[in-house]
């Protein structure tokens, strides 16, 4: 298989593959374009034809041709492998025999799949499921929807599923590990985890049942209304979205995902034709769930409950989404409905209109907090400002921020300068500094301490790797291993110097990567993909930049040597070592002269 993977890599050029999805422009040794995995206006997505890898310096996505296709199309590795093999004309041999771990996972998936059919049969064909079927029909679900989501019913009996699975050859440890049963501490007996509940199978992106969520038909004060499968070898709630297996192609086509909270919210909306919808299953949204969406689309439309808990969850979720580089939109619920389930069931036309024209989160939040403001209501204005200013301070785009400053000033009946002053007092970390901090000597000048020295080391290596070979040949001799001492970049420098000494006219960067350990190799790839802007092509600027950075790195090394020497001088003074003191003072003067030079 490893040989076939290499054959595919040899036949498919990464620049050609990515160019089918993203316009790329030559930039020195690399290619540059707008990242397909997050919204950006300034290109930070780099592709190296020499290393056959890509990296976005905005959202940190990176990898080879397989990683790109998996992220762009939302595929598993096996699916990407099969697709690229087809494009490359490489015939894949059969996969090797599954490992013990694969066999174990396979058994758990088989038990879960069989359980879903057991529950579905009881709901749709057995008298025991009539009450549950009546409940679902009363919630507005059609037989077609029940079949589509393979809904089921878990009878209120101690171990009906456990006994059924045992008859099918599954052991009690397997049933327990799949999250379908548990052992009682009181009497050491095994009981079904789900009893007296409507069952929602949880499918992974490939359509395999990996767990369940069960809702009580008759609510009890002791038992939770919803009960989910525990974490198992095949199910992790932080990396799961309900309905994702069905929504994938529709999210990709629409360019956005509609995100709701509960299973019934999701099912009612899909039944109503909102097929790009997914649900968090009532748990807090995670970065991993947002990454799943981001692989398919750049936007997410939040449709959370109208209550206070739903609005707090919305604020947290938007912050997470924007950290992942997703555009956050909101579709307000029609008046008089409490959640997306009710909206799809009772006010579908209004709900469809809201979904078709979602608001930016900031517009939505602004409208929500200023809707009932009176110009004379000083306390109301203060409350609105207290709510809105922290949100507006997080807006990076200056035009968007100016728009909302003006809008807030008008709503509060104040001059804009007062709103700006209040906003300026709020210290909120901005990602813009990072985005505009493209590595250059000008940037390094402002750095202090160890960070400065390490940044200089990485930058000078980047220039030596990427600039003209003859230019690098002149400057690499001015540097020494001690300039990289204590840094993970030292192996890169050592190998680079060896390659420079071996070659006369040019070199292949891949020769430098050979033999590097994992972390230096990762740093090497990052240096090879860094955006050097105006330095990519201008030879005059290249020499000026490389000379300045090499000199600054030497200066940092000399400063470190001075610090060591001063410590030795203090020791010699304390111990009254006069001869040694003279010798150390001479060395110190020499170092000061070198620094001056």
The CATH code of the domain that includes 67 is: 3.90.580.10
CATH number of the domain where residue 309 is located: 3.40.1360.10
Same domain, residue pair 569 and 462: yes
The verdict on residue 94 lying in a domain is no
SS (H, E, C) 540-567: HHHHHHHHHHHHHHHHHHHHHHHHHHHH
Q: Which two tokens stand for residue 512?
A: 């430098």
The verdict on residue 105 lying in a domain is yes
Domain-terminating residue out of 351, 379, 409: 351
Q: Give the pLDDT confidence of 1-15 residue by residue, as tens digits.
A: 668 888 999 999 999
Same domain, residue pair 140 and 72: no
Residue 476 φ then ψ, to 5° = -65, -25
Q: What is the mean pLDDT of residues 517-527?
A: 87
Q: Which two tokens stand for residue 7?
A: 């054959």
Domain coverage including residue 174: 100-235
Lowest mean pLDDT, pick from 13-27, 265-279, 416-430, 553-567:
416-430
- Between CA 367 and CA 363 the distance in angstroms is 6
Show the DSSP H helices in 357-489 as ranges: 361-370, 378-392, 398-412, 416-424, 432-436, 441-444, 449-466, 469-476
The verdict on residue 384 lying in a domain is yes
- Between CA 368 and CA 373 the distance in angstroms is 10
Distances (CA, A) of 248 to 305, 512, 515: 23, 41, 41
Total residues belonging to the chain: 597
The verdict on residue 356 lying in a domain is no
Same domain, residue pair 266 and 199: no
Same domain, residue pair 22 and 69: yes
The verdict on residue 261 lying in a domain is yes
Helix (H, G, I), strand (E, B), or coil: what is residue 519? helix
- Between CA 565 and CA 408 the distance in angstroms is 60
Q: Give the pLDDT confidence of 377-412 residue by residue, as tens digits.
A: 677 777 777 877 877 777 766 777 788 888 888 877
Distances (CA, A) of 12 to 6, 86, 216, 343, 536: 10, 11, 53, 48, 26
- Between CA 83 and CA 101 the distance in angstroms is 26
Total domain count, the chain: 5
Q: What is the mean pLDDT of residues 244-268?
A: 94
CATH number of the domain where residue 145 is located: 3.90.980.10
For the chain, percent of residues with pLDDT exceeding 90:
40
- E strands within 20-65? 25-27, 30-33, 45-48, 53-56, 62-63
Domain-terminating residue out of 175, 209, 235: 235
Domain-terminating residue out of 204, 235, 266: 235
The verdict on residue 95 lying in a domain is no
Lowest mean pLDDT, pick from 151-155, 220-224, 453-457:
220-224
The verdict on residue 226 lying in a domain is yes
Same domain, residue pair 445 and 582: yes
DSSP per-residue string spanning 255-305:
TEEEEESSHHHHHHHHHTT-TTEEE-TTSPP-HHHHHHHHTT-SEEEE---
Q: Are 394 and 364 in contact (CB under 8 A)?
A: no
The verdict on residue 265 lying in a domain is yes
Q: Give the pLDDT confidence of 458-507 residue by residue, as tens digits.
A: 888 888 888 877 788 888 888 888 888 888 899 999 988 888 888 777 77
Angle of the 361-370 helix axis to the 398-412 helix axis, nearest 10: 10
Q: Are strands 327-330 and 226-228 parallel, antiparallel or unpaired?
A: unpaired
Distances (CA, A) of 106 to 50, 83, 179, 210, 560: 40, 24, 14, 11, 58
Same domain, residue pair 392 and 453: no
Q: How far apart are the first and last CA of the chain?
A: 58
Q: Which residue has the higher pLDDT, 433 or 158?
A: 158
Same domain, residue pair 267 and 196: no
Same domain, residue pair 33 and 57: yes
pLDDT at position 579: 82
- Between CA 34 and CA 49 the distance in angstroms is 17
Same domain, residue pair 143 and 177: yes
Same domain, residue pair 445 and 560: yes
Confidence of residue 310 (pLDDT cuts 50, 70, 90): confident
Confidence of residue 437 (pLDDT cuts 50, 70, 90): very low
| Mean per-residue pLDDT over the chain, rounded | 85
Confidence of residue 172 (pLDDT cuts 50, 70, 90): very high
Same domain, residue pair 397 and 460: no
pLDDT at position 2: 67
Show the DSSP H helices in 92-171 as ranges: 100-124, 130-138, 143-148, 160-167
Residue 533 in this model has a pLDDT that exceeds 80: no
Q: Are strands 190-192 and 277-279 parallel, antiparallel or unpaired?
A: unpaired
CATH number of the domain where residue 482 is located: 1.10.860
Q: Are 468 and 500 in contact (CB under 8 A)?
A: no
Residue 266 in this model has a pLDDT that exceeds 50: yes
Same domain, residue pair 379 and 410: yes
């Amino acid at each position: 298989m490893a040989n076939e993977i290499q054959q595919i890599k040899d036949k498919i050029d990464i620049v050609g593959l990515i160019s089918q999805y993203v316009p790329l422009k030559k930039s020195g040794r690399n290619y540059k374009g707008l990242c397909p995995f997050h919204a950006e206006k300034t290109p930070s997505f780099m592709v190296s034809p020499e290393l056959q890898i890509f990296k976005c310096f905005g959202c940190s996505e990176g990898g080879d041709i397989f990683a790109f296709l998996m992220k762009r199309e939302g595929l598993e590795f096996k699916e990407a492998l099969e697709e690229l093999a087809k494009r490359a004309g490489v015939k894949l041999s059969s996969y090797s025999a599954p490992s013990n771990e694969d066999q174990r996972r396979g058994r758990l998936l088989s038990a879960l799949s069989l359980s879903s059919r057991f529950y579905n049969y009881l709901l749709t064909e057995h008298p025991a499921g009539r009450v549950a079927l009546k409940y679902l029909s009363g919630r507005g679900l059609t037989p077609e929807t029940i079949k589509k989501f393979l809904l089921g019913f878990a009878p209120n009996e101690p171990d009906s599923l456990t006994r059924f699975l045992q008859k099918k050859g599954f052991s009690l440890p397997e049933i327990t590990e799949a999250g379908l049963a548990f052992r009682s501490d009181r009497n050491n007996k095994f009981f079904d985890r789900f009893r007296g509940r409507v069952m929602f199978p949880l499918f992974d992106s490939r359509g395999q049942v990996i767990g369940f969520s069960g809702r009580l038909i008759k609510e009890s004060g002791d038992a939770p209304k919803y009960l989910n499968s525990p974490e198992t070898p095949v199910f992790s709630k932080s990396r799961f979205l309900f309905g994702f297996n069905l929504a994938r192609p529709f999210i990709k086509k629409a360019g956005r995902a509609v995100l709701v909270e509960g299973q019934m919210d999701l099912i009612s909306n899909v039944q109503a034709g909102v097929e790009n919808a997914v649900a968090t299953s009532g748990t807090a949204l995670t970065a991993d769930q947002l990454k799943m969406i981001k692989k398919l689309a750049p936007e997410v439309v939040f449709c959370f409950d109208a209550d206070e808990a739903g609005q707090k969850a919305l604020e947290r979720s938007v912050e997470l989404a924007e950290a992942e580089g997703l555009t956050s939109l909101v579709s307000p619920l029609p008046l008089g409905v409490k959640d997306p389930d009710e909206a799809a069931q009772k006010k579908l036309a209004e709900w469809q209109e809201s979904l078709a024209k979602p608001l930016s989160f900031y517009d939505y939040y602004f409208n929500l907090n200023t809707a009932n403001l009176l110009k004379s209501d000083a306390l109301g204005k203060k409350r609105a400002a207290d709510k809105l200013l922290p949100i507006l301070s997080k807006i990076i785009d200056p035009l968007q921020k100016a728009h909302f400053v003006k809008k807030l000033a008008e709503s509060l009946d104040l001059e804009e300068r007062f709103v700006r002053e209040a906003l300026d007092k709020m210290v909120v970390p901005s990602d813009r500094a990072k985005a505009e901090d493209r590595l250059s000597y000008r940037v390094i000048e402002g750095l202090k301490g160890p960070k400065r020295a390490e940044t200089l080391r990485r930058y000078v290596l980047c220039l030596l790797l990427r600039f003209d070979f003859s230019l690098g040949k002149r400057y690499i001799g001015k540097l020494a291993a001690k300039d990289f001492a204590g840094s993970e970049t030292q192996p890169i420098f050592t190998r680079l110097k060896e390659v420079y000494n071996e070659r006369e006219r040019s070199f292949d960067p891949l020769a430098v990567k050979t033999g590097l350990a994992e972390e230096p190799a990762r740093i090497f790839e990052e240096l090879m993909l860094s955006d050097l802007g105006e330095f990519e092509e201008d030879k005059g600027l290249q020499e000026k930049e490389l000379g300045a950075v090499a000199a600054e790195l030497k200066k940092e090394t000399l400063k470190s040597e001075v610090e060591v020497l001063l410590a030795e001088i203090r020791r010699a003074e304390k111990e009254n070592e006069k001869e040694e003191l003279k010798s150390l003072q001479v060395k110190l003067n020499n170092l000061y002269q070198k620094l001056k030079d």
